[in-house]
Each structure stands twice: as structure tokens, then as C-alpha cells.
Structure 1
């Protein structure tokens, strides 16, 4: 077959234009979505081996991406983990990075480097939808005015949040720093030290409760549920607990639909399965494990729906999704809700020891995976990774230099192109710290009871050093500190090079 000069010229032009098109597409900035659950354990998902509950929507992402077996939150409680996630800084470096009351001031400095700030500089739209729990305001919060500090001051263009947690007052939605549906004739007042005159509490008015408190949660009653702290006013602004998940899901979906034509970063922070567990009636009873199991199924539904929205809006193929939990599991965390009684054979911490509040593995080793359709090859990775590494890794993804923090560039690990993760990691639980290095975990001696009685969780306290080979002993059954003295000594030195030698100055464990 002979080709005319005109045809050959046309063919050459076509290849040239196609190359331009491909190059242009290769430079399209990917959308980035963080899906962050609350108190979800290593053994709570079917993709991590449980057979007692099915989470098909979450599994589809985990099995279609890189599922990490050594993925960590920085901390065994919520506020510190969220701080580390967004800033790339170990939370123990900030003395205020502890579980915050609902009225605490903004924890992240307005001049501090954050992931959303970084992405804004690269032309991204940024949003947080769901649980915040990193403080609001610069002093005493006036809930009846525009808040003077919050997510919008640390890099988020759009924020639609709850102030702290579902079990804390105030129980309100906050839209870009302003309380939603607030009646000016019924102003909100919040106090975490004393009650307001005439306001019923869980401790004094048990006859008004639809959910019985176990410990700590005996303050103001909202929707029949006793909370932490005291509140007066703001009745019209109170959320409906059973509609909380649907409400935040709708806001996240709307955000995607509005911003699908431009690169966006969405931090979608679900509340499940944190207490109080109040799944929508359509999920009640579906798990057979009571409200905690039902809340996990509700979360799985939400994940499926946000992924469906990404697909329907035509942006799923250009979206990097990262999924994890802020800390490990807890059953009875303040309310009687049959979490323990209906547990059956389910093991929320899987093969791990400990749980929320604990330096043992189940406190910080959590479900963690990345998904990017068509870009990430499905695989399971044993690489050591931490949520604190998202700062440096995303900076590499969007080609940006950032100030050096505790974060490490593990982009190739997150994209499944490498299995070389961190060499070491410091984890934290209520100001106490431990050291993971290679396959080994070292926990220094700490005072206090080995079991936190209120929640019946081993927290890792011991008068002796603890040393575990996690590759051979994932359940931490054998303390090798005495038989591996040389290794222990070396690890303590490496730990102190990073942590300093004041790590024994710890505070009392906070439950909440």
C-alpha cells in the first residue's frame, strides 16, 4: 500500500497532537481524598481477615490498591493522630496535642505547615467534612458568632464539621466557622467544668436517658444521650444523631460534584465506630453485633457512596484515595451499648494486643491502604508506613518542596512501586512513647496499671523494658528484653536520639 505525501503529513500531525494530548493528561493533578475512620480496629474489616462482619465497599478499595499490614497512626487516641496526619509532625512534640475538650482553642498554628495549605499553593481546592477535634477559636469560644479560628485558617477552603466528637458538647454542625441553624434568641453556652442552672444531666436525671452511661459521659443530655461537658441553649442547632453519617456524606458528595472540574483535596472524617454509636435505623441489627457492628456497616455504606459519587462524576480514575483510622478499637468507651455482650467471635484488634489508649500494637497499628484506579497495582505490602508520612509523600506527588518535618517521602510505597518503608517510627499513647525499628518494638518502663480498668484494655505499662519481635510474634506474647540486651540497648539509644531523654515525664491517662 502506498501513502500519499498529504496522508503521511496528516499522520505525522496526528501523532504529534496525540503526544501533546498525552503529555497534557500526564500533568493533570490528581484529586486526593483522605477517608478517616474513628476507633476502627485492625481486625474490624473483612479485608483484614475477619469473617464475622462483611465490609464489601471498603474491601473493594483495599483489595484494589495497596493494603498495608504495617500501617500506623501516630497515636493511640484521636486528637494527636489527626494532628500528625495533617501536619507531618509527631504529636508528642506539641505538649497540647492531647485529647481536647469540645471548647479547646485551635491546636494547629495558623502559620504552621499543613497538607491543605501545601495543596492550595499547587492550585487545589481543599475541604474537610466530618469530625474535626483539633480545637476552634483562639481563646474562649463564642459559639454565637463567626469563630475566629478553625479549619479555614489552616488551609481548608471549605469546612463542614463537628467541633470535637459525637459524645462531647456542643452537638452542632459548623459550616465554615458558623454554627448551622442557630437561633439568636437561644444562644449556646458551653462549660466543661460545671453545669448550667436547671439543665438536666446524665448523672442527675437517668430517667431522661435513652442510652445509659458507663463512665465519664454523664454531663448534658442531648437527644436522650448523656455527653461529656455541659451545654445550655442552641436547641435548634442540635444534630440528629441517627442522621449524622448521612448528613456528612451528603456534604462530601456535594463538594465532589461542585469541584469535579478542578483538582481537589477532600479530608472526609467519619465518626464511626466512635461512641455514642447511633447508626441510622436502616442499619440497626444488620451486623448482629449491636450498635458498634452496625456503625461499621454504616461506615462501609458511606465509603461505597462517596466512591460511587467519584465514579459517577467521572473523576475516580484521577483520584488517589487514602484510607485509615485514627487509632485502634475500644468496646466499652463510656456507654452501655452491648458492644461487649454481642461481640461473639469477632476480634476488633485481630491478632494484635491492646487497643485504643495503648502502646501495644492494637493502639496504633490500624487499617491503612491506598487506592488509585488504573495507577496502583493491587497488592499487599509489609512496608512500615505511618500517617505522618502523607505530608512529604503528597508533596512529592504534586512536585513541591516543603519544610522538613517527621514525615518521610514514601510516595513510591503508597503507589505500590516500592516495598521499602520507614526504618523506624515513634508511636504515642497519652504522652507515653515507644519505638518501632525494623521488626522490633521497644516499650520503655512506665508507671501505672497495666490494664485501663474502665475500658478493660492493656495499655503497655510495665516496670520493665519490653521488647518484641513483631515479625515472629505479632501478638506480643514473648518479651525478649532480657535475652536481647545488646539490641535493647541499641534501640534505646536510637530512640533517645529522636525522642530525647525526657520520655519518662508522662501524664495520667485521659479517657474520652
Structure 2
């Protein structure tokens, strides 16, 4: 009945459930979503089953029962294939990406798309042995060094194979770092104890000066690096402060190919090709909606951002509640660290943004 709690909760089934048949093909995967060839893991590397999936089938039987491991090498218990070694996973995927590029270079007139989502620096924080101790910033710092090396190796492969002149490369992220910032000069952090998920600000700032952490509605949860390289199209060293969202990649790619999207396709995607190449008339994007791990919303329009709740909506205290007041209005140009709430000073802007957010929640705006 509504409002009545269940008395008997079902026990959680063990991760290595005998009811799962890993030998069956995975039919609703990347190959059904437009990819001709794929090598993936089922989720981030801290979730079982720990297997490689080549197109529709796992590459090795799950004969290993992987025990749970605490941070930094955080793993959940579950089945693992014998060919997946956690600290080798990023290297293996890198080698496969480079092999793909070398293959495509033999057909230079055939277009290609490579999507290479890195397993690092997401948990488990397990840098390859050759990177351990490189940064003096603990395993997480060493893991970031391995990310740099991985991206560099892919770029070198693009250059070496002669693909660079006609290849758009984008490097970005889906969220900010989970590493918290500690401003106290005597605070213990990840350097002192690798099990601590925080850095002293005088040692390292994973999210720079931004407020919050991964999963929060604050800027550290949502503002991410976005770097692009496209010889002959993007001026090296150029910058652009326009607000974009990763959903905009779809429309931007279509625009770069001279293709017009059907009206019903990707309604929340807006091309930023003009900003990317510095030519043409830039399209001013409608407001961007942010969403935290615990259901907090925010809306961003130009320099202004309104948090529709009274906390982080994620991991940083106070977490608050969605749509509970007071709301937080920030001027991200003058105050990117979101230290000052301007909702009382600019109530007209707060009201306008709140109305816009509620309008967008009802359906996408016309492109």
C-alpha cells in the first residue's frame, strides 16, 4: 500500500550469481548503436563483471571471483575474466585504439570515428607499475600521469600514420574529479595516506578553484576540460569562453559534415562549430541544465547560474534538497568559485532563470 514499508526485504543476490550466463551474445550493445567494431568493458572498472566485450561476446570466461578491494584500488566483488588485469586495462585499450588508427591509415579516403573513453582516472586508482611514484602525489597523481601518456600516445599515432591533417581530435570528460580539496595547511591528504580521497590545496587541486566535487551541482561537478585539435581548421592555442554541453557534440559533428539533423533527432544538441573554428556566425546556445547525483537541478545561461535547491545535491555537505529554498544564484564570470549568493541582489535574474528551467523540464527548446 502507498506509504507502507515492506517488512521483509529480499537479500541482495551475490555478484557472482549462477543465474547469469556470460556465454550468451550481448545483442543491445555498441554494435547495435552504429559501431562497426567495439572493444569495451561493461561499466567503469570498479563494477563487475570484469570482462572485455569484443563486439557481442566476452573475450574470456569468468573463472575468477574477484574479491572486494578498498580505495585507492577500489573494486566491488564479482566475476572476472582471466584476460583482464586491472592495472593493464588502460594500456590494452590504448594499444587497441592505436591498432585501429594504423588500420584506418591504410584506407585514407575512408572516414572513421574512434570513441575512446578512458578507464582512468576513475576508480580503481591503479596506475601501471611504470608510473608508480612518478609524481610524488600518490597513486591518483601517478594515474593522471598515465592518462597524459595514453592521450599522448594516441596523438602520436595519429601524427605518425599521416591522419592528423584531416582528423578532429576532442579530449574532454563527463564530470569533475571525486578528489576533494582541503585548504587547511596541516590537513592529511592522499599524499600522506593513499586511502584518503582528498588533496591539500597547496599540493594539488584536482578541480582547481571550483566549488564541490564529482556528483555535486556545483561547478567542480560539471565544468570539465574541453580541448580540440583540427589542423587547418582550429587555430592552435586559441580559446573560447562560450558555454557548451557535451550533448552539443552530435549537432556539431553533423554541422562539420554539412548535414542537417532531422527535427526529432538530438533535440538538446546545438552546434558550436562556428566557435570551434572561429568562422561563421556563432549560435547562441539556449540555457544548459545541470543535474546532480541526488536529483538537484541548476540552469546556466551565459554568465549566470541558478541552483534550484539549497545544497550540493551530491557529496559535499550540506547536500540540501531539490527545489528547497534558498536558491543559489552565481555570476560565474566574477565568481567562478560560487562563493557569493546573488539571489537577493538580483531577484529578477533568479526568477527568469527559474521559469526557464521549469519550461525546459517540460520539453526541449526549438533548435
Which bin holds the TM-score, normalised by the shorter protein? 0.7 to 0.9
> What SS does the corresponding residue of 2:126 show, helix, strand or coil?
coil
| Structure 2 length-normalised TM | 0.80
Change over 3 Å in CA distance of 1:340–1:362 after alignment to 2: closer
1:306 aligns with 2:154: yes
Q: Are positions 1:406 and 2:268 aligned together? A: yes
Question: Paired residue for 2:222?
Answer: 364
CA gap 1:451/1:393 in 2 versus in 1, 3 angstroms? closer
In the alignment, what sits opposite 2:7?
none
Q: Which SS does the other structure have where 1:317 is aligned?
A: helix
Q: 2:240 matched to 1:381?
A: yes
Q: Are 2:117 and 1:269 aligned?
A: yes
Work out the CA distance in 2 between the residues paired with 1:498 and 1:451.
20
Q: How many residues align?
A: 323
Aligned to 1:10: none
1:499 to 337, 361, 364: 361
Question: Does the CA-based 8 Å contact 1:290-1:342 persist in structure 2?
Answer: no
Deviation at 1:399, TM superposition (A): 1.9
- Deviations 1:482-511 (Å, cap 9, x if unpaired)? 12111211111111111139xxxxxxxxxx
Quote the Cα distance in structure 1 between the aligned partners of 2:85 and 2:196: 22
Task: State the superposition RMSD in angstroms.
Answer: 2.7
**Cα deviations across residues 60-101 of structure 1 (Å, max 9, x unaligned)?**
xxxxxxxxxxxxxxxxxxxxxxxxxxxxxxxxxxxxxxxxxx
Q: Residue 483 in 1 paired to residue 341 in 2?
A: no
> Of 43, 48, 51, which residue of structure 2 is paired with 1:172?
51
**Cross-structure match for 1:296:** 144
CA distance in 2, matches of 1:359, 1:390: 22
CA distance in 2, matches of 1:488, 1:444: 10
Which residue of structure 2 aligns with residue 89 of structure 1? none
Shift of 1:341: 5.8
* CA deviations over 1:278-314 (Å, ceiling 9, x no partner): 1111111111111111111101101111011111111
Offset from partner CA, 1:430-478 (integer Å, 9 cap, x none): 23221001210001125xx7585xx656657563111111111111111
Match of 1:345 among 175, 198, 203: 203
Contact in 2 for aligned 1:442/1:468 (Cα 8 Å) = yes
* Counterparts of 1:341 and 1:425, CA distance in 2: 30
CA–CA distance in structure 2, aligned partners of residues 290 and 494 of structure 1: 44
After superposition, the Cα gap between the structure-2 partners of 1:251 and 1:494, relative to the gap in structure 1 and judged at 3 Å, is same
The answer to whether the 8 Å contact 2:50/2:81 transfers is no
Q: Is the 8 A contact 1:360 1:458 kept in 2?
A: no
Q: Which residue of 1 aligns with 2:287?
A: 424
Q: CA deviation at 1:331?
A: 2.0
Between the aligned partners of 1:450 and 1:400, the Cα distance in structure 2 is 39
Q: Deviations over 1:17-61 (max 9, x none)?
A: xxxxxxxxxxxxxxxxxxxxxxxxxxxxxxxxxxxxxxxxxxxxx
- 8 Å Cα contact 1:290-1:339 kept in structure 2: no
1:440 aligns with 2:285: no
Contact 2:272–2:282 (8 Å) recurs in 1? no
CA contact (8 A) 1:357 1:459 kept: no
2:253 maps to 1:394: yes
Structure 2: distance between partners of 1:226 and 1:471: 37
Whether 1:249 and 2:133 are equivalent positions in the alignment is no
Quote the Cα distance in structure 1 between the aligned partners of 2:122 and 2:201.
16
CA distance in 1, matches of 2:66, 2:269: 46
Tell which has more relative contact order, 1 or 2 (C-alpha 8 A, sep 6+): 1
Looking at structure 1, the residues matched to 257 and 35 of structure 2 have their Cα atoms a distance apart, in angstroms, of 17
Q: Name the structure 1 match of 2:34.
A: 155
Q: Distance in 1 between matches of 2:348 and 2:273?
A: 34
1:410 CA displacement? 1.4
1:387-427 Cα deviation digits (max 9, x unpaired): 11011111111122223411012111122336655242111
Q: Residue in 1 aligned with 2:327?
A: 465
Residue in 1 aligned with 2:12? none
| Superposition TM-score, scaled by structure 1 size | 0.59
- Looking at structure 1, the residues matched to 316 and 352 of structure 2 have their Cα atoms a distance apart, in angstroms, of 33
Structure 1 Cα separation of the partners of residues 269 and 160 of structure 2: 34
- Name whichever structure is richer in strand by fraction: 1
| 5+ residue gaps, structure 2 | 1-14, 181-192
Q: 1:281 aligns with which of 118, 129, 144?
A: 129
